[in-house]
Amino acid sequence: MLATLEELIAFDYRQAKIETNETIMLLHGNGFNSTLWGSFADLLNETCNVIRIDLHGEWEGPLSWKMICDEIHKRTERIGVQELHLVGHSFGASLAMSYAGAFPGQVQSLVLISSVLFYPPKEGREVIETYIETIHSHGLNATIQNEIVSHLTLLETDSAPVQAIMKAYSETNVNLYLKLLELQMIDRPFEAAKTIICPVLLLAGEKDSLYLPELQSITTGYFGNATLLIVPNAANALFIDQPELSASWVMDFIRRKMNNTVAFTRRWSISSHLPLSLQSSMHAALTPNVLRVTLIHSFRVSLNGSELKAGWDKRFAKNILAFLIFNPSCTREELCDALFPNLNLVTALNNLRVYLNYLKKLLILPNGTSVLHTTRNAIRLDADIECDLVLFSSTLKELIFTDIQEHTGMARAKELLGTVEGNKFLTGIYDQWFVDLKFRTEEQLATLSSMVAYWEASMNRHDSALYFESLSNQFIQLN
């Protein structure tokens, strides 16, 4: 029997063990159900109200992000929930992005688990088409068992959690699964992601071979206020592999609300153990070209080890490349908005065409091709990107977000602060997006300096405490 939209979306609201106004909504992955959140959800429920959403049933008609989000929002209004923190896994992460874009006033923070918004267009579509053909040929359960399930967790196949996962898939309607898959992988919520203003935390499993951490790191570039953390000894369903650690990081993030973070990307080693239907396409999509860019104290560029010295002060080459470092795949309109906000769009796009052709020539390879790829709809860098500012930003946020009050953490904090002490940094680019990034970086440096000063004072190293407090004030004055 076909379900109505209200029947399709089950809604389970559980109050916290303590009195609180904080409510977390959990959005599961495609083929999963709300029971698989397990102890991760129970830990969150100790201090926060928790809403568990289930999408299950027979569905034949059209289905869109808007339809699902509107129905969920209607349910939250019924129980009087005015503010939410969203936690979504895989498909649920895409749903969380769509919901946050549709109802920004309600969503206070966003946690995206094992989420890939960016996927190489050609290879991505080929992977999805192959996967769908396999489901049609062999059935959903056989496909999941042969291709997917061993990559979801690090647990043995006969373990209770993995058996629960298989049971959930066996109870999933194939038509609904394919519709949700199309929403997640084809109708990806790019526009919603660009409008999200709340703090965003991305959690990636260190050993996730379904959604490579390298691709997940690119997703951070779509948000203005995002942080990526890698969960150790965890695969795709990291809340099953590491429930206590995952819940702890989520709760820390919600408490802090991550108001002053900067999006960053980071290079990660790539697992060779991919599902058969993903392996060849993913290896084809990744490139050995390495583009290194320094931005902190001076602007320097090298491509595959050869420094590119000339031409960066012409035709906005430096500005465009810096933007692409933090936004490895973007549209022409996004570039124009960031670099030429005072020009009308037609003029800006005409100028940009000239600037991009010039930049392509600067980033030319020995075989005559360029690592800068442009189409009518997208601009991207076809290279592994290594940037001192990206690494600096990720280390800075990691130190602020974790406990530095131990020898190694304190040493790293002092070392990081020493790299900017007495030096001008982040100069030479004055586009508003970069000025905003510099402002947030200085705020974070002030915070880290204060943390070190507090620790030094607690250890009765008063001269050192005064020094770092003074350093904090210097960063504040820069703002």
The structural architecture, per CATH, of the domain 287-386 is: Orthogonal Bundle (1.10)
Crossing angle for the helix pair 432-458 and 462-478, to the nearest 10 degrees: 160
Helix (H, G, I), strand (E, B) or coil at 339: helix
Strands 372-374 and 379-381, how do they pair?
Answer: antiparallel
Blockwise average pLDDT, block size 10, the chain, 479 residues:
80 93 96 96 96 91 92 95 96 95 94 80 68 91 91 94 96 92 82 84 91 77 80 94 94 70 32 38 54 93 93 95 89 92 94 96 92 86 90 86 67 87 78 90 88 87 90 79
Q: Do domains 5-279 and 287-386 have the same CATH topology?
A: no
Give the span between the Cα atoms of 318 and 325, in whole angstroms: 11
Q: Let me know: does 23 contact 81? Beta carbons within 8 Å.
A: yes
- Residue entry with tokens 């609201």: 13
CATH 3.40.50.1820 fits 5-279, yes or no: yes
Q: Let me know: does 174 contact 166? Beta carbons within 8 Å.
A: no
Give the span between the Cα atoms of 36 and 20, in whole angstroms: 25
Q: Let me know: does 291 contact 303? Beta carbons within 8 Å.
A: yes
Who's near 215: CB < 8 A, 6+ residues apart?
116, 118, 119
Q: Let me know: does 69 contact 99? Beta carbons within 8 Å.
A: yes
* pLDDT value, residue 211: 85
CA distances from 232 to 154, 255, 390, 391 (A): 11, 22, 21, 19
Minimal CA–CA distance to 24: which of 261, 222, 263, 253?
253
Sheet order of strands, 84-89 included: 9-14, 49-55, 23-27, 84-89, 107-113, 200-205, 226-231
Give the span between the Cα atoms of 175 and 30, in whole angstroms: 12
The token pair at 74 is: 């209607």
Question: What's the CA angle centered on 166, arms 66 and 14, to 5 degrees?
Answer: 55
Give the span between the Cα atoms of 369 and 361, in whole angstroms: 9
Q: Where are the domains of the chain?
A: 5-279, 287-386, 402-478
- Residue entry with tokens 């104290």: 297
The token pair at 115 is: 């989420």
* pLDDT value, residue 119: 60
Give the span between the Cα atoms of 16 and 24, in whole angstroms: 10
DSSP one-letter code for 302: E
* pLDDT value, residue 100: 94
Using a cut of 0.75, tell me whether the model's pTM lies above it: no
